[in-house]
Amino acid sequence: MRQYLLKSILQIVPVLFLISIIVFVLVYVTGDPVSLMLSDTATDEDREILIAALGLDQPMHIQYFRFLGNMLQGDFGTSFRYDMPALPIVLERLPATFELAIAAMIVATVISIPLGILSATKRNSFLDIFVSGASVLGKAMPHFWLGIMLILLFAVEWKTLPVSGRGSWDHLILPAFTLGTGIAAEMTRLIRSSMLEILGQDYIRTARSKGLIETIVVYKHALRNSLIPVVTIMALQTSTLIGGTLITETIFSWPGMGQLIIQAVNTRDMAIVQAAVFVVAFLVIVSNILADILYRVLDPRIKYN
Amino acid sequence: PAQPSGNKETTQPAAQNGDKVLTIASGSDIVTFDIHDHNNTSTEAVHVNMFDYLVRKDAQQKVQPDLATEWETVNDTTWRFKLRQGVKFHNGDEFTAEDVKFTLERVATDNKLLEYGNYKQIKEVKVIDPHTIEIITHAPEPVLLNRLSRLGSGILPSKYIKEKGWDEFLKNPVGTGPYKLEKWVRDDRLTLVKNDEYFGEKPKWDKVVFRSIPEDATRVAELLTGGVDIAVNIPPSDLQRIKDNDGTDTKQGPTQRVMQLTLRLTPGTVTENPKVREAIDLAIDKQAIVDNILAGGGVPTRTRVTPGNFGTNLDLYNKTLYDPEKAKQLLAEAGYPNGLELTLNATSGRYLKDKETAELIQAMLAEVGINAKLELLEWSKFNEKYKAKKFDEVFMIAYGNSMFDASLAFDRLTTERSKGESDYSNPELDKLLADGEKNMNMEEREKQYKQAQEIIAEERPHIYLYQMNANYGVSDRINFEPRLDEMLFVDEITLK
Amino acid sequence: MSLPLESQTAQAGSVGQAVKKPGQLRRLARMLLKSKTGTIGLLIVIVVVFMAVFASAIAPHDPAKTQAAQRLKPPMWMEGGSPANPLGTDNLGRDVLSRIIYGSQVSLMVGVCAVAVAGAIGVVLGLVSGYFGGIVDNLIMRTVDSFLAIPNILFMLVILTVLGPSLTTLILVLGFTNWVKYARIIRGEVLSVKERDFVRAARTVGASDGRIIFTHILPNVISSFIVVSTLSVATTIIAEASLSFLGLGIQPPTVSWGGMLSDGRQYLATSWWVATFPGVAITITVLGIMFLGDWLRDILDPRMKARAK
Amino acid sequence: MDQTKEPLLVVKGLKKHFPFKKGMFSKETGYVRAVDGVDFTVYRGETLGIVGESGCGKSTTGQMILQLLEPTEGEIWFEGRNLSTLGKAEVRTLRQHLQMIFQDPYSSLNPRMRVEEIVAEPLRVHGTHKGSELKEKVVELLRLVGLDAHHMSRHPHEFSGGQRQRIGIARALALNPSLIVCDEPVSALDVSIQSQVLNLLKKLQKELKLTYIFIAHGLPAVKHISDRIAVMYLGKIVELAERDELFANPRHPYTEALLSAVPIPDPTQRKERIVLQGDLPNPANPPSGCHFHTRCPYVQDVCRQTAPTLTEGTAGHFVSCHFPLGQS
Amino acid sequence: MEANLLEVKHLRTHFKTEDGVVPSVNGVSFSVAKGETLAIVGESGCGKSVTSLSIMGLVAPPGEVVGGEIWLEGQNLLALSKKELRKLRGNKLSMIFQEPMTSLNPVFTIGNQLGEVFRQHRQMDKKEARAHSIEMLDHVGIPNAEKIVDSFPHQLSGGMRQRVMIAMALACNPALLIADEPTTALDVTIQAQILELLKKLNKEFQTGVILITHDLGVVAEMADRVVVMYAGEVVEQADVFSLFAEPKHPYTKGLLGSLPKLDENREELDSIPGSVPNPLDMPDGCAFHPRCPAATEECKQNKPQLQEVALNHLARCFYA
Ligand SMILES: Nc1ncnc2c1ncn2[C@@H]1O[C@H](COP(=O)(O)OP(=O)(O)OP(=O)(O)O)[C@@H](O)[C@H]1O
Ligand SMILES: Nc1ncnc2c1ncn2[C@@H]1O[C@H](COP(=O)(O)OP(=O)(O)OP(=O)(O)O)[C@@H](O)[C@H]1O
Ligand SMILES: [Mg+2]
Ligand SMILES: [Mg+2]
C-alpha cells in the first residue's frame, strides 16, 4: 500500500506539470490585466512601467518558467483585488467549499444507494421506472434553478430552513441538496446498472444456491461488489462536484472557493484564478487517489496484482 | 414574518440578549479596506461607518462639519481646515493633522491608486499645527469640499500604518468612525460593532452586519424571511412582492447614476451623422423603459447633471424626446431611407436590468429601421473593451457622480478625453469646461455648465436615457430613507 | 467425404438468425417499440428536431418582438392570459411559446455541434492513444488527467470570459472541454478490441495499422461513442443553461432555453411561467435524449446482443 | 515424412518473457517466462501438435511464429530464412505464407464486416486480386471450406460456431499459405461439430499440401490430427515424438500422467489413474531445476537442482528428463 | 419408487424472450437413487443447466418452470414456498457450477463464504463456522486449510477453487449434489484430481449426484446411469455400460462416433452434420431429423415418444 501511495504521488507530478501549462496558457491568453489595474487617468508611461514590473514584456516561455518557479515555492502571485498573496486567500476559502462538497456527497450517497439497489432488485417495476425518471430529472435541473426553487419552497414558503449563508448545520441542507442532486442522480443510475450486472454474476447464483436469505445475497454479496466500479466513477465526479460549487455557492452566498473563483474571473484577478484552479485540480487528483485506495480496500483482488 | 429556525447568531438580525443588531444585504462584498484603491460605491457605503471625512454631506447633501469643524479659503488654491480635537482612532491613537496629511497626500501622489485621478488636484497638505491644516491645490478648486466628502477621503491612522505596516491595516483596519470592524469573512459577512469612544452622537446599533448575497432571488428571500433588515438592489419585479409581504416594505430613491448611450463620431461611422444620432435618440422611448423594465424606478433625462448636483439644468431633466416618425424621417434625410446597421454594446448583469434595457432598445431601434447588432458583454470583458476604447458605434453604460458637481459629468467629452471613444470634439465646449473647472465664481460657473449641457443635448455624443432609482427592501421594524449618494450611514437608520 | 455439406449450409439460415437487410430495420423498429422509454425518447427527439427545423413556420410570433404593454402575461388558461400567447409572455412582452420553439434551434445546435467537436478530438486521440500505446498514450492520458482535474465549468468560465461569448466560441469551448471523456472511453474500448482475435487475424494477413484502425477497430468502438455522445448532447444543453446563469451563454437576440431559464429566474416567484416553461422544455428534451441514449446503449451493446441470441 | 523431410520452420531457443514491475521503486522487475527456450522443427506437409496445460506457453509460441509477438530471444527460420533479420517488406511478403486459425470463432471475426469482406481482406491487403476476380476467389475459398456463395453477404453473427470457424479457415487459406498455426481451433465448438472441423482440416491439408502446427489441450484431438506431438510444460517442451511413439512409450513422467488423466469414453476401461498432486506452478516464479519436480511422482534430488535438457533418446523421440521412463 | 431420492417428472422450463418463448426444458423426466451418479450429457444449449437450475429453484426471470413435478425425498419442490425451498438449498440440495473462477465472490474470504452455509443452516456462530469450514476444506484435500480459510478466491488456483466449491456444497451433507460441468474449465490433470475427489466423496457420503457434462469420457468414468438430452428433451436413458455398448438413438451413436479416441487411429471421424436447431424454430416431428442420417418421412411428421427399447434402456426414436 505504501508503495502504491508513493507511486500515485509520483504520478501526480506530470499531471500537475501539465496543469501548470494549461493554467498558464489560460491566463496568458486572457490578455493583460494591466488595464484593469490602472486608474482611469493613467498615462501610457504608467502602463509601460507596470507591464515591465509584472514582467509581461518578456517572451511567453520565460514568463512560464518564472511562473512555474514561483509556483513551486507556493507563490501564485498577488491578487490585485485583495492586494495579498493569492494562495492564502484561496486556502482560506477551502474549508467552506469542503464542507459543502462533503455534505453534497453524503446527500448523494444517502439518496442513491437505497434507490439504486431498490430499482435494480425490483427491475422494471413501477418503482424502477419512477426512480429512472427521477434521476433523469435530477440531472436535467441546472443548479441555479434548483437552488432558487429550494429557497422559495423551504425557506420562503414553508420557513423551515434558512435561506443562505454559512452557519450551523441547517444552513448546509439546501446547498448540499442543490449540489448533491445531480450527483445522486448519476450515482443512482450507476449503482443500478452495476447492481444489475453483479446480480447476474455466477457468485450470486452460488450464494443463492447456498440457501442464503435474499437480504444477505443483496446487501452482502451484491452491494459490496457493485460499489467497486461506482467508487472510481464517482471519483471522476469530484471535478463536476467542485465545478457545481461555483454556482451553488453564488446562489446560497456560501463563502467558499466557488464564489471566489467567479468573482476572480469577473474581475480578472488572475492570480486568484491560477491559485484556485491549481488547488481545485490538486483536490480532484487527491480525491481520485483516495478513491483508488478505497477501491483497493473494497476489492481484495487488486492488492495482489 | 416568522423567523426561520436557523442558527440564531448568523441569521437572526433581531435583538438577542438585548443587543441591537442591524443586518444589511447587498449584492457584493466590499472590495477592500484600502480606501484609496477602489472606486466602488457599495464598498464606500460600508466604509462611511468606520472612517470619517473632514466634512460630510447630510441626508440633504448639505456639507456639514465632521473631522473638520471649520474651514475657509485662504486664496484660490489654498483652503484652511480646523480639525476636531479629542478624537481617537479605534486603536486609541489620537487623530491629528498628520493623519490628514498622510491620507490625502497618499492618494494625491500615488498614481497606482484607483482614486488617484480624483485627488491629484491636491498639491500639498500643510500641517499648520496639530489641529490645523492647509490644503494647497495645483489650480483653483471650486469643488474641493465635494471631493473631500466622498470616496477616498476617509482619514487613515498614520501612526498605526507607519508602525504596523499597510498589510496589518488591511487586516485590522482602524478609523475614527462610529463603528469598528469586528470580523470580515469575505463574500459572506462583515460585522461592525459600535465604537463607544465615538466623538459624535452615540452609535445607535450594537452591531451591524453587512452580508453579501450576489443572487437577487436569494437576497429577496432573506428579506422576506426576516434574515436581513435591508436588502439593497431589489429587482423591480420583486418590489410588489416585498410590499405585499407581511413585515416588509420597499423604499426607492433617486441616485446619481444615469444610464446613457455613448456614440461614436469617428469619421466613417454612421453615427458621425448628427441626424442619425438624433434619430437614435428619438427612436428610444425612455419612459417606456422606465415604466416597463424598472417598474417606474427612474426618471427620463436629457442630462447627466441631475438635481442634487451643482450646475443642474432643470430644462433638460425629467424631459425626454420620443418621436419614431421623425426618427424615420431623419434617417431618410441622412441618406438611410432603408435603415442602417450598427452595433450596440452593453453590459449584462452590471446595472439593474441592463440586459433587458439593451434588448428593448434594440427592439425600439428596429422599429425605425435601425438594425442594431446587440453585443452583450459580462462586465470584465466590457470593461476591458471599454478601457481599450474598442467599441463600435454605440455602447450603453451608466455613470455615477460622486462629486455632486457638473464637472465630472463632462469628463469624457473634452476633445482630449473623448479621443478614441466618442471622438467628439467641440472647441466651444472645451473652453466652457476648462473655464468652469477652475472658476471660483459659482454663479458664473453654474451658467457655464448649464450651457454645456445644452450643447451636449443638442449634439448628442452621449444620449442620456434615465436617472436610475435605487430599490431597497426594508423590514417594517426599522426606519430607513435612501440617500442620493447611496451611502448607508447606519446611524441614520433607526428602529421603529 | 461423409460430410453432407449441402444439407448443412441449407441449415445455416435457420440456425443463425437469418436477417436480411430490410429485416434489420424492421428488427430495430421492433426493438424500439418493445422499449417504452426508447419510443418516448425517440418521439421527444423527433418533436424537438421538428420544432427546430420548422421554427419559423410553427411559431405564432416573432420571438424577438417586444411588446411593452403585453409584459408578463400569464399562460392562456390562467386569469389574464390570452390565446395569442398560449404560454404567456416574458418581461419584455415576448411570446414564451415562440421563444421556446426558436430556442430549440440553439439548444440542439449547441448540443450537437459541441458534441461533434468534442467527439472528433476525443475519438482521434483515443484511437491513437489506445492503439499505439507507449509514450504517445502516456502523454495523451496524462493530458486527459489534467483536463479531468479542472472542472469543465471553470474552464468554460475562464475562456468565455476572455473570448466573450458567441455561438461559435460557446460550441468550441464546450467541445474543447469535453473531448477528454471521449478520449478515455474510446481508448478503453480500443484496448479491449485490440486484443480481440480478429485484430490479430488482420495483422496476420498483413493489414497496415491504418487499415486495422479504420476498418477493424473504429467500427467496433463507434457504438460506445454514439451512446456517450447522445447523453452528452443532453448534458451540453444543461451546461449552456449554467453558462447563461454566469452571463456567458448565448447572447440576445438569439434565443436559447438556457438563456430564457436564466433570465426568467428573477420572475420565478412572481411570474413563474417565464422560467418554468423553458425549464420544462430542457427537462423533457434531456429526458428524451437520455431515454434514447439508454435504448441505444442497450441495442448497441454487443453483450446485450449476445444475450438476445 | 520419410526421406523427403524438408524443414519448413525451424525454431531455435525461442523465449518470450513478459515483464512486469514488482514495485515502483524496487528496480527489480519480474518476468512471466511464458516461453522459456523452445526448439523444434516443422517439416513441410506434416502436422506438429503442441499440447500442454493452460498457461504453459502454447499460444505465445504460436503468436511469435506469426510475428504477432516479438520474441525475447531465439530465432525463427521460415523457408530457410531467419525472420528476425529480414526487412519489413520482406517479412510482409513472407508472412503471406504463414497463417493462423484462432480458438474463439466468436472473437476472431470482425462482427461489423460481411463474410465477403472478411475473406477478401488478405487478398485486398496484398493486392493479389481485384474486382470480379476477387469475388470469384472468395466464392472459391468459401466452397473449399464447405460454405456457399450466398453466405457472402451475411455478417458473422448469422452463423453457428462451426460455420464461423470455416470462415476463419477460408480467410487463412486466401493467400495460399504453406504453414497454418491452428490455436485450439476446435475447443470452443460443440462435440458434434468438432469432428466436422477436424475432418475439414485434414481434407484441406491433403488437397493443398498444407503444413500445420496444431495447438490444443485436448489430447484426443491432437492425436487424431498430428504426425508428431510436442508436450509443453511451463514454457518448455518436455517431450517431442512421433504420435504413436509418444502414446505408446511416453518417456516423460508428465506425459505419462497427462495420458493417464484423459478420461476414456468407455466405461469398461475405467482404470487407476496417475493423479498428479498440486497445481501448475506460476510461470512468473517457476520451480528451480526441472520445472516439473514439484508434481513429479518420481522426483529425485538432482531434479530439484538442475534443469534437464531436451535430448533425443531413440530416433526422433526427444525428452527433457533426468530419468526418462522406460529406461529401467 | 421409494428408493429414488429424486424424481423429476415432465419438467418444463421456458424462457420468455423478446423473440419468443424458448422451451429450454420440454418435458424432461428422470430419477436419481440414493448414492447413485446420474450423468446428463448433451450439446451446448440442450437444456442441461436449466434442468439443474430448475431443480434448485434458481431459474431467473425471464425463465419460469411452467410444468412438471420435482420430488425430493417425498416433497414436491415445485409446491414449496420460496422460504421452504431456500431452507433446502445448500442443505439437502446443493450444487457446484462450471466456472470455479467466477462462482466465488471475489471480495470475501473463503472462510467467510464457506462459514455462511453453516451459519445459515446450522445456526452456528462465527467461531464454530470457521472451525467447521477448516474441517470441510481438509476434507476436500486442501492442504494448509487453516491458512486457505482466510485467503481470497483470487489467491487460489482453479482447481483449489473448485475444491472450495465442493466443500461448500457438501458442507451440510446434502442428499443430492448437482455438479454442472464441474471440470470443463479445468486442465486435464486438475480435472483428474477433481473427478477422483468426487468419486471418493460420493462413496463416502452416499450422496446422490447429478453430473452434467458434455464430455463422454467423463461420463464413462463417473456415471452409473446416463441421460442424453437433445434440444430440451431426453432422447436416451440407460445405464452407462449399455449406453456405450449399444447406443440406441442416432444422436447418441453420432456423438460416440465423432469422438477421436486415444486408442485407435482413424483417418476420418464420423460426424453429425449440421448443428443444434434454433430453440425458437424447432423442426416438426423428431427434433433430430434434420441431422439424422436415417431420417424418414415419419420422423419429419411425427414426434417419437421416449420408449423402453431394451431393459431399463429408453430411447426417443421410431427405429431404435
Ligand atoms: N501479454 C501478456 N502479458 C503478460 N503475460 C502474458 C501475456 N500473454 C500471456 N502471458 C502469460 O504467459 C503465459 C503463457 O500464456 P499462453 O497464452 O501462451 O498459454 P497457453 O498455453 O496458450 O494457455 P491456454 O491453454 O490457456 O490458451 C501465461 O502465464 C500467461 O499469463
Ligand atoms: N436467460 C435466458 N434467456 C433466454 N434463454 C435462455 C436463458 N438461459 C438459457 N436459455 C436458453 O435455454 C437453453 C438451454 O440452456 P442451458 O444453459 O440449459 O444449456 P446447457 O445444456 O447447459 O448448455 P452448456 O453446455 O452450454 O452449458 C438454451 O437454448 C438457451 O438459449
Ligand atoms: Mg492459448
Ligand atoms: Mg450449462
Q: What is the pLDDT of residues B255-276, one digit of tens each?
A: 999 999 999 999 999 999 999 9
Whether residue B173 is predicted with pLDDT greater than 70 in this model: the reply is yes
Q: How far is the CA of D59 from the centre of ligand 1 (A)?
A: 7
Residue type for position C175: G
Same domain, D199 and D236: yes
CATH of the domain at D206: 3.40.50.300
d(Cα B284, Cα B360) in Å, to the nearest integer? Answer: 9
Tell whether D259 is within 8 A of chain E (Cβ).
yes
With H, G, I as helix, E, B as strand and everything else as coil, classify residue E232. Answer: coil
For residue E98, which atom of ligand 2 is closest to its CA? 27
Q: How far is the CA of E235 from the centre of ligand 2 (A)?
A: 18
Amino acid at D305: Q
C5 neighbourhood in chain E, CB within 8 Å: 273
Positive or negative, the CA dihedral B198, B201, B205, B208 is: negative
CATH of the domain at E91: 3.40.50.300
Asked if pLDDT for residue B451 goes beyond 90, the answer is: yes
Cβ(B230)–Cβ(B474) under 8 Å?
A: yes
**pLDDT at A180 exceeding the cut of 90:** yes
Query: What pLDDT digit, counting tens, does each position of E45-88 carry?
Result: 889 999 999 999 999 888 899 989 999 988 899 999 989 999 99
Say which amino acid occupies A260. L
**Which three cell numbers mark E77?**
419442490
How many whole angstroms separate alpha carbon C303 and alpha carbon A235? 26
Do the domain assignments include residue E241? no
Contact D108 C12 (CB under 8 A): no
User: How large is the average pLDDT for residues E224-242?
Assistant: 93
Contacts of A272 in chain B (CB under 8 A): none
Provide the pLDDT confidence category of residue A69 given band limits of 50, 70 and 90.
confident
Least confident of C66-70, D294-298, E96-100, E310-314: C66-70
Chain centroid to CA A130: how far?
A: 28
Q: Going by CA atoms, what residue is nearest to atom 18 of ligand 1?
A: D57
CA distances, B5 to each of A160, A168, B212, B247 (Å): 6, 11, 21, 17
User: In this structure, what is the dihedral angle of CA atoms E272, E276, E281, E283, given to the nearest 10 degrees?
Assistant: 30
Q: Are strands D47-52 and D211-215 parallel, antiparallel or unpaired?
A: parallel
Tell me, yes or no, whether A98 and A65 share the same domain. Answer: no
Closest listed residue to residue B55, CA positions, set B39, B42, B72? B72
Q: A240 lies in a domain?
A: yes
Pair D59, D182 in one domain: yes
- CB A173, CB A252: distance < 8 Å: no
pLDDT digits (tens, 9 = 90+) for E120-160: 898 889 999 999 999 989 888 888 888 999 999 988 888 88
ipTM over 0.85: no
D201 and D149 housed in the same domain: no
Average pLDDT score over residue span B353-376? 90
In a domain, A78, yes or no: no
Cα of first residue to Cα of last residue in chain B, in angstroms, is 16
Sheet strands (E) in B15-87: 21-26, 55-57, 63-65, 68-75, 78-83
pLDDT attached to residue C13: 36
* Ligand minimally distant from the alpha carbon of residue D52: 1
- Contact by Cβ (8 Å): B227, B11: yes
Tally of domains in chain A = 2
CA distance B199 to chain A (A): 31
pLDDT band at B480 (very low <50, low <70, confident <90, very high): very high
| DSSP symbol at D225 | H
Q: Are B455 and B436 in contact (CB under 8 A)?
A: no
DSSP annotation of B441: -
DSSP symbols for A46-110: HHHHHHHHHTTTS-HHHHHHHHHHHHHTT---EETTTTEEHHHHHHHHHHHHHHHHHHHHHHHHH
Q: Is the pLDDT of residue A28 over 90?
A: no
Question: What is the predicted pLDDT for the residue at D213?
Answer: 96
Domain shared by E147 and E11, yes or no? yes
Residue D322 is predicted with a pLDDT of 92
Q: Is residue D11 in a domain?
A: yes
Q: How far is the CA of A222 from the centre of ligand 2 (A)?
A: 23
What pLDDT score does D313 carry? 83
* Alpha carbon of D62 to ligand 3 centroid (Å): 9
* Shared domain check, A98 and A173: yes
Same domain, D184 and D172: no
Residue B5 has pLDDT above 60, yes or no: no
pLDDT band at C303 (very low <50, low <70, confident <90, very high): very low
Contact indicator for D180, D120 with CB cutoff of 8 Å: no
**Percent of chain A scoring above 70 in pLDDT:** 93
Contact E270 C3 (CB under 8 A): no
State which residues form the domain around A14: 2-73
Q: Are C130 and C191 in contact (CB under 8 A)?
A: yes
pLDDT at residue C32 tops 80: no
Helices (H), chain A: 2-29, 34-37, 44-54, 60-72, 86-121, 126-140, 143-150, 169-199, 202-209, 214-215, 223-251, 257-266, 270-298, 300-304
DSSP 3-state of C280? helix
Percent of residues, chain D, with pLDDT higher than 70: 95
H helices within chain E, ranges in order? 48-56, 82-88, 110-122, 126-139, 145-148, 158-170, 188-205, 216-222, 240-245, 250-258, 297-301
Quote the percentage of chain C above a pLDDT of 70. Answer: 88
Write out the three cell numbers for A185: 442522480
Contacts 24+ apart (CB under 8 A), B104-111: B104/B135, B104/B153, B106/B36, B106/B156, B107/B36, B107/B152, B110/B36, B111/A39, B111/A42, B111/A46
Distance CA B444, CA B452 (A): 13
Would you state the pLDDT for residue D318? 94
Lowest mean pLDDT among A19-28, A43-52, B130-139: A43-52
One domain for residues E130 and E278: no
For C257-271, how does the pLDDT look when each residue is reduced to its tens digit (9 = 90+)? 988 988 888 888 888
D55 lines ligand 1 (CB under 6 A): yes
User: Domain range for residue D1?
Assistant: 1-23+31-97+178-276+311-328
Please tell me the distance between residue B12's alpha carbon and the centre of ligand 2 in angstroms.
68
The label of the residue with cell 463417473 reads: E222
Give the C-alpha separation, E299 to E319, whole Å: 10
Q: Tell me which residue range forms the domain holding E259.
A: 249-320
* Model pLDDT, residue B376: 87
pLDDT tens string D160-185:
888 899 999 999 999 989 999 999 89
Do E171 and E284 lie in one domain? The reply is no
pLDDT given at position B276: 94
d(CA A262, CA C88): 33
- Closest-CA residue of E relative to A206 is E103
Q: Is residue D43 part of a domain?
A: yes
Is the model's pLDDT at A36 over the cut of 70? Answer: no
Per-residue pLDDT, averaged over A237-247, amounts to 88
- pLDDT, residue B110, reads 86
Residue E140 lies in a domain: yes
The share of chain B scoring above pLDDT 90, in percent, equals: 58
Residue A65 and residue A98 in one domain: no
> What is the per-residue pLDDT across B217-236, written as a single tens digit (0 to 9) for each?
999 999 999 999 999 999 98
- What pLDDT digit, counting tens, does each position of B195-218 carry? 998 998 899 999 999 999 999 999
Amino acid at D62: G
**Are E275 and E193 part of one and the same domain?**
no
Residue E9, pLDDT above cutoff 90: yes
For chain C, what percent of residues have pLDDT higher than 90? 20
Tell me phi and psi for residue E60, to 5 degrees.
-95, 150
Q: How far is CA D44 from CA B148, B323, D75, in A?
A: 107, 103, 18
> What single-letter amino acid sits at D125?
V
Question: What is the domain count for chain E?
Answer: 2
Query: Which of D51, D266, D296 is the best residue to mutate to test the E interface, defined by the most E CB atoms within 10 Å of its own CB?
Result: D266
Residues 6+ apart with CB under 8 A from A30: A268, A270, C158, C161, C162
Task: Over range A69-77, report the average pLDDT.
Answer: 83
Residue B380 has pLDDT above 60, yes or no: yes
pLDDT at position A303 over 80: no
Per-residue pLDDT averaged across D306-312, rounded?
91
Domain contains A183: yes
Bigger pLDDT: B388 vs C22:
B388
What is the per-residue pLDDT for B171? 87
Residues E193 and E265 in one domain: no
Average pLDDT over residues D309-322: 90
Contact (CB, 8 A) for C231 and C178 = no
- Give the CA-trace dihedral at C188, C190, C192, C197, to 10 degrees: 180
Residue D301 lies in a domain: no
Q: Write out pLDDT tens, residues B117-140.
A: 888 889 999 999 999 999 999 988
**D109 and D93 fall within a common domain:** no
Query: Is A303 part of a structural domain of the chain?
Result: no
Amino acid B231: pLDDT:
94
Spatial contact of C280 and C257, defined as CB atoms under 8 Å apart: no
Assess whether A143 and A179 both reside in one domain. Answer: yes
pLDDT at C245 (0 to 100): 87
User: DSSP string spanning E243-290?
Assistant: HHHS--SHHHHHHHHHS--TT---SS-----S-PPPTTSPPSSSTTGG
Whether residues D15 and D93 fall in one domain? yes
User: Residue C107: what pLDDT?
Assistant: 87
Res B55: pLDDT? 92
Chains C and A touch (3+ CB pairs under 8 A): yes
* H/E run at residue B452: helix B442-459
Residue with the larger pLDDT of the pair A143 and D326 = A143
Cell numbers for B399, please give them.
Answer: 455613470
> Is E268 in the same domain as E217?
no
Enumerate the residues of chain A whose CB falls inside 8 A of the CB of residue D23: 3, 7
Say yes or no: D116 and D249 in one domain. no
The share of chain B scoring above pLDDT 70, in percent, equals 97
pLDDT for the residue C247: 82
Q: What is the pLDDT of residues D184-243, one digit of tens each?
A: 898 888 888 888 899 999 999 999 999 999 998 888 889 999 999 999 999 999 999 999
Of C49-53, C285-289, E1-5, give the range with the top mean pLDDT: C49-53
Query: In testing the pocket of ligand 2, which one of E17, E24, E102 has its CB within 8 Å of the most ligand atoms?
Result: E24
pLDDT digits (tens, 9 = 90+) for C163-201: 878 888 889 988 888 898 889 889 988 998 888 899 999
CA A125 to chain centre: 33
Q: Which CATH number fits the domain that encloses residue A98?
A: 1.10.3720.10
Q: Which of C199, C174, C189 is nearest to C121 (CA)?
A: C174
Residue C304 pLDDT: 42
Contact E28, E233 (CB under 8 A): yes
**Residue B433 and residue B407 in contact, taking contact as beta carbons nearer than 8 Å:** yes
Nearest C-alpha in A relative to E117:
A210
Q: How far apart (Å, rounded) are the C-alpha atoms in residues B164 and B172?
A: 10
The total of structural domains in chain D comes to 2
What is residue D130's predicted lDDT score, i.e. its pLDDT?
84
Is C194 touching D (CB cutoff 8 A)? no
Mode of pairing for the β-strands spanning B478-479 and B494-495:
antiparallel
Cα-based distances in Å from B15 to B11, B23, B182, B185, B196:
11, 11, 18, 22, 19
The residue among C125, C144, C169 whose CA lies nearest residue A19 is C144
Q: Which domains can be identified in chain C, with CATH numbers?
A: 34-61+70-308 (1.10.3720.10)
pLDDT band at C246 (very low <50, low <70, confident <90, very high): confident
DSSP state of A122: T
Residues of chain D in contact with residue C208, where contact means CB-CB under 8 angstroms, are: 125
Please indicate, yes or no, if residue E231 is contained in any of the structural domains: no
Q: What pLDDT was estimated at residue B3?
A: 41
- pLDDT(A42) > 70: no
For residue A173, what pLDDT is reported? 92
Closest by CA to D192, choosing from E268, E39, E252, is E252
pLDDT tens track for D294-306: 999 999 999 999 9
Q: What is the pLDDT of residues D15-37, one digit of tens each?
A: 999 887 554 444 556 788 899 99
Q: In this predicted model, what pLDDT tens digit does every residue of B63-97 receive, in sequence order?
A: 899 999 999 999 889 999 999 998 999 999 999 99
Quickly state the pLDDT bin for C130 (edges 50, 70, 90): very high
Mean pLDDT score of chain C: 82
